[in-house]
Each structure stands twice: as C-alpha cells, then as structure tokens.
Amino acid sequence: MQPLTVYVMQQNLQRVLSTIATLPSDVQSQVNDESLKRLTQRNWGFDFYLLPTILEYAKWLEYSDEGSYYTYPLKNLHHLKSWLSCVTGASVKEAECVVEEILDDDFLVGILVRVCLQHGMNDSASRFQKQRASVYGRRIGWYGVVRIKKPRLVIETGIDRGLGSAILCRALMRNTEDGHLGRYLGTDINPSAGFLLADPLSQFGSIAYGDSIETLKTLSSEIDVFINDSDHSADYEAREYETIINKLSKNAVILGDNSHVTDKLFQFALRLNRNFLHFAEEPSDHWYPGAGIGAAF
Ligand SMILES: C[S@@+](CC[C@H](N)C(=O)[O-])C[C@H]1O[C@@H](n2cnc3c(N)ncnc32)[C@H](O)[C@@H]1O
C-alpha cells in the first residue's frame, strides 16, 4: 500500500476509533467475564465480513479512477434475469438471451476502452479490458429493458461519465438494426458529464445539461423508458416522477436507481395502478454494497 493510501486509511480508522468510547481502565479484569467472552466469540464477523471490505476499499482508493459511480460484476445475475422477465413480460429464456448478448458485446467494450484511455482513465480501461461487460452491474438490467421493450424514447436523468448512456444507446443501436427506431436523452447538471457516450453510440442520443427537472418540463414526446439516477434525495426523486406523470406512454417502464433507499417509486407505481418490483444487486470484488433497480410497470 502506498504511503498516501496508508495515511488516508489511518485517518479513516482514527475517526472510527474516536467514536468508540474510551477503553475503561479495568478492562483486563473483565476479560474472563462470560459476556465479554461471548462478545469476543461473535467478533469473528469482523475478520470474515468487515476486514475484507475495508481492505478492498483501500485497494480501490489507491488504484481506481472511479468517483461516485462504480463498476463491478454481479454475484446474482440469475436474480436480474428473472426480474427482467417479470418486468418486461418476456420469457426467462428471452431475458437470459439479452443479458448474454450484452455480456458478449466486445464492440461496446472496445469503445469504452478507447474513450477511457483518451481521458487518461487507465484503471477503468484496464477493468473493461480484463473483466469486459461483466462490470456494468445493474445497468445490464437497464439494457435488457430497452432491448425487450423497444422504446421510442428512453430518458436517463443523471449520467455521470455516461456508462449508462453508452449501454442504453448500444441497446437502441441494436434495436435499430432489428428495425425498431428509438432515441436516448440523458440529463446532467455537470457540464463535463457523459464523455463515455462516444461515436457511433452518440448517434442514438444526446445529453441535455442542466437541472433534470427543468429539462423534463420541456419534453413534448412520450417517454417509454424512464430511468431516475440524478439527485438522490427522496424529495427530488419524487419531483422527477411528478414531472413526467403526464408524459408517459401507456406501457412505459419507469426505473428508479434510488429504490433501495426510498419508497418513492413504489408510491408512484401505486398511484398509477402499476406493479412494482425491485432487483437488489450483489456486487463482487468491490467494497460497494450495491444498489438496485426499482421498476414501475
Ligand atoms: C449516480 S450518478 C449517475 C450514474 C449514471 N447513471 C451511471 O449509469 O453511471 C448521478 C449524477 O446525477 C447528476 N445530478 C445530480 N443532481 C442533478 C440534478 N439536479 N439534475 C441533473 N443531474 C444531476 C450528478 O452530476 C451525477 O453525474
């Protein structure tokens, strides 16, 4: 571990220690106490679960170029396939096919590697090179919904580097090859967001910079797939749904990236008399505990 990483990790751990009460001076006399023995026996969870996560975090801090968006393979792809089938009405077999399609897609990986290298994101480039599409995490579910539902308009609010944008536009590109035209619109308040949406994928969509809700208010076309992933406060999330309520097509699918935290999409689904289903992702090889995809359909 490099000295700077060691320093930052020590600061982190120091903050943890300072929130734990000062060690009582008579602690030695308690060591034989039955309750303390029970406590130390149960402490195996620290070594088994927490320590590997803390070390994984230190490794990520040192090598990764990721900011607030993360990439990792999923342990529970089978849950995602089943979720996809329930949300889209496709058979599990069809859902499996679109998941395998994106996992085998070297064309998209090639674009991501090229653009990451152009932007000096060498660690991201090497992750895409080594682990390929497996690291897209729950975005594989977004891809599946677009491939199966064949939407004419897909909106993603909050795009960060544009990994979701690239994946969604790849789905639209394939839909176009199959004879179903569709467009993507991403929104972000950060003017430098979205650089992963490069040519030829950028031919299938565009990015509107500025506050998402302000952009959503200007939309005149019907939305077929909506993905909420911008400001993650519960209030903002709810206001995004409120803004699009009269702009949804009859069979629109609304996906929420905040549904592991709030019940806003669940409440929205109830109001629209729609089903709600949440997929909880389980990342592997990453300290991040994972988010999920809420779906109102
Ligand atoms: C979690 S990231 C999005 C990740 C992205 N969907 C992906 O697949 O990697 C959230 C993004 O929302 C943007 N954001 C935050 N508040 C916003 C707002 N009010 N309007 C538009 N974008 C916003 C941030 O700049 C950030 O890029």
Express each pLDDT in 83-121 by its tens digit: 999 999 999 999 999 999 999 999 999 999 999 999 999
Residue 61: what pLDDT?
94
The CATH number of 77-296 is which of 3.40.50.150, 3.30.420.40, 3.40.190.10, 3.40.50.20?
3.40.50.150
pLDDT at 68 over 90: no
pLDDT band at 271 (very low <50, low <70, confident <90, very high): very high
pLDDT at 279 over 70: yes
In this structure, the residue with its CA closest to atom 8 of ligand 1 is 164
Q: How far is the CA of 159 from the centre of ligand 1 (A)?
A: 5
Any idea of the CA torsion for 166, 170, 172, 173, to the nearest 10 degrees?
Answer: 130
Atom of ligand 1 nearest to the CA of 167: 8
Residue 31: what pLDDT?
67
Q: Give residue limits of the domains in the chain.
A: 77-296
Q: What is the pTM of this model?
A: 0.93
pLDDT at 224 over 80: yes
Residue 171: what pLDDT?
98
Express each pLDDT in 189-209 by its tens digit: 999 999 999 999 999 999 999
Q: How far is the CA of 259 from the centre of ligand 1 (A)?
A: 15
Express each pLDDT in 135-165 by its tens digit: 999 999 999 999 999 999 999 999 999 999 9
pLDDT at 296 over 90: yes
Within 8 A by CB and 6+ apart from 62, the residues are 1, 2, 5
Quickly count: other Cβ atoms within 10 Å of residue 109's Cβ: 19
Nearest-angstrom CA–CA distance, 26 and 287 = 36
**Segment 219-225 mean pLDDT:** 97
Which residues sit with their C-beta closer than 6 Å to ligand 1? 68-69, 139, 156, 158-160, 163-164, 187-190, 193, 211-212, 229-231
Pocket test for ligand 1, best of 190, 207, 215, 232 (most atoms within 8 A of CB): 190
Q: Nearest-CA neighbor of 168 among 76, 177, 159, 251?
A: 159
pLDDT at 30 over 70: no
Atom of ligand 1 nearest to the CA of 227: 6
Nearest-angstrom CA–CA distance, 226 and 209 = 17
Within 8 A by CB and 6+ apart from 115, the residues are 195, 196, 198
Average pLDDT over the chain reads 95
pLDDT band at 134 (very low <50, low <70, confident <90, very high): very high
